Amino acid sequence: MWFALTLILSAALVHLHFWWRGKLRAQSRQQAADLAAGQRQQQQQRLDAQAQQQVLFNSMLEGLLLLDKNRRINLANRAFNNLFGLKLELRGKTILEALRVHELEALVQRVEAEGQVLEHELKLPEFSERWLQVNAAVITNAAGEREGTILVFHDLTRLKQLERQREEFVANVSHELRTPLSLIKGYVETLLDGARDNPEVAERFLKIIERNANRLDLLIQDLLAISALESGKVTLVLQPTDLRPLVEKVFNDLHSRAENKGVKLLNELPALTAKADVNRVDQVLANLVDNAIKYGRVQGCVSVGGGETGDGKLEIFVRDDGLGIPTAALDRIFERFYRVDKARSRDQGGTGLGLSIVKHIVQSHGGEVRATSEPGKGATFFFTLPKA
């Protein structure tokens, strides 16, 4: 009886033991699963936060570089990689290993010493003269200890280019104005010193003064036109414009200039209607035909022609049979004050601004302008306009 009772009790206890162990095991399995899920969730959250951070940093226009306290790269955003032309993973590298820009390494040392450096300008000559502005500061923890350095890079290249262009423009304008002005001054002084007593000499000098005053006038008109076009103040009055009669009008305006040089003017344009500002297109044609006469051959021929391009545009050309333009200069002739032959241009009363005015006007119509030339055989200028 006792034996049976003991046996039943032991069996019950064994059963209880196994039941309890099973329960404990299930519980710990559940805990482990919960723990793993928690860790996974935490890790996922961390990854999500990192990805969000990366998206945020990559959407910045400024380059961002984060260094740890050992000056190793912790993070570099997309703009930074683009600024420095980098494609490799930079994490863990030093500035010198990753970029080889000694000035930047020196800047980081300065930031560590001073806490922050603002608006430091950095030139990267190996990237076709790229200019950067760097703002940098030390990152510290709650205890005030240095944790790393943050550097923000702003691309100044465009700004520097504009600054240089403006300086060149001012220098060019001053130079262009000074030449006729000093001639006028010189001849006026000579007249006052007694030359006026000789009517023949006086007349010759006065004619020179008149020519140079006209030149100044022309230059100032062109400068005002350029500045109005560049500031975007010019509003185009777009309307259906018949080009053939417009070419005829321009030929009439320039008739005497062509005749003086024995140049034949040919209007070969078919009936084309552009959606354009008639006065501005008049200016474009006048500049191109005037140049074609100026730089064309004596007893030569200037023709205007064109047609539809097929993509809703019209292409007009002005062709001469003069000296032409050296291939190397073809891209540059649309720049302000660029001339292939300075003396020749000035002799002909050129300001060096005509083609850049042409380019501005055509571009403001959404068109394009280009030139082709076979040196010695003439030049052809093409421009496009939207079809009406």
**Residues in touch with ligand ADP (CB under 6 A):** 291-292, 295, 320, 322-325, 333, 338-341, 345, 350-356, 379
**Cβ atoms of residues 288 and 358 within 8 Å:** yes
User: Considering the complex, what minimum distance in angstroms separates the CB of residue 147 from ligand ADP?
Assistant: 58
User: Considering the complex, what minimum distance in angstroms separates the CB of residue 347 from ligand ADP?
Assistant: 10
Sheet of 264-267, strands arranged across: 264-267, 301-308, 313-319, 378-386, 369-374
Q: Which residues of 246-261 are buried (b: 16+ CB within 10 A; e: fewer)?
A: bbeebbeebeebbeee
Cα dihedral angle (267, 269, 272, 274), rounded to 10 degrees?
Answer: -70
Question: Of 92 and 375, which has the nearer Cβ to ligand ADP?
Answer: 375
**Cβ atoms of residues 262 and 295 within 8 Å:** no
Task: Please tell me the chain's helix, strand, coil percentages from 3-state DSSP, rounded to the nearest 5.
Answer: 55, 20, 25
316 phi, psi to nearest 5 deg:
-115, 140
Question: Of 38 and 375, which has the nearer Cβ to ligand ADP?
Answer: 375
Question: Of 319 and 365, which has the nearer Cβ to ligand ADP?
Answer: 319
Question: Of 131 and 251, which has the nearer Cβ to ligand ADP?
Answer: 251
Residue with the shortest CB distance to ligand ADP: 350
Question: Of 73 and 353, which has the nearer Cβ to ligand ADP?
Answer: 353
C-alpha 153/C-alpha 130 separation (Å) is 12
User: Considering the complex, what minimum distance in angstroms separates the CB of residue 318 from ligand ADP?
Assistant: 8
DSSP code for 348: T
Question: Of 150 and 225, which has the nearer Cβ to ligand ADP?
Answer: 225
Q: Is 263 helix (H, G, I), strand (E, B) or coil?
A: coil
**Cβ atoms of residues 351 and 266 within 8 Å:** no
Contacts of 98 (CB under 8 A, 6+ apart): 73, 76, 86, 88, 90
User: Considering the complex, what minimum distance in angstroms separates the CB of residue 323 from ligand ADP?
Assistant: 6
Contacts of 103 (CB under 8 A, 6+ apart): 122
User: Considering the complex, what minimum distance in angstroms separates the CB of residue 326 from ligand ADP?
Assistant: 9
In terms of Cα–Cα distance, which of 72, 239, 79 is closest to 152?
A: 79
Question: Of 90 and 325, which has the nearer Cβ to ligand ADP?
Answer: 325
User: Considering the complex, what minimum distance in angstroms separates the CB of residue 292 from ligand ADP?
Assistant: 5
DSSP code for 309: -
User: Considering the complex, what minimum distance in angstroms separates the CB of residue 261 from ligand ADP?
Assistant: 13
User: Considering the complex, what minimum distance in angstroms separates the CB of residue 316 from ligand ADP?
Assistant: 15
Question: Of 153 and 295, which has the nearer Cβ to ligand ADP?
Answer: 295
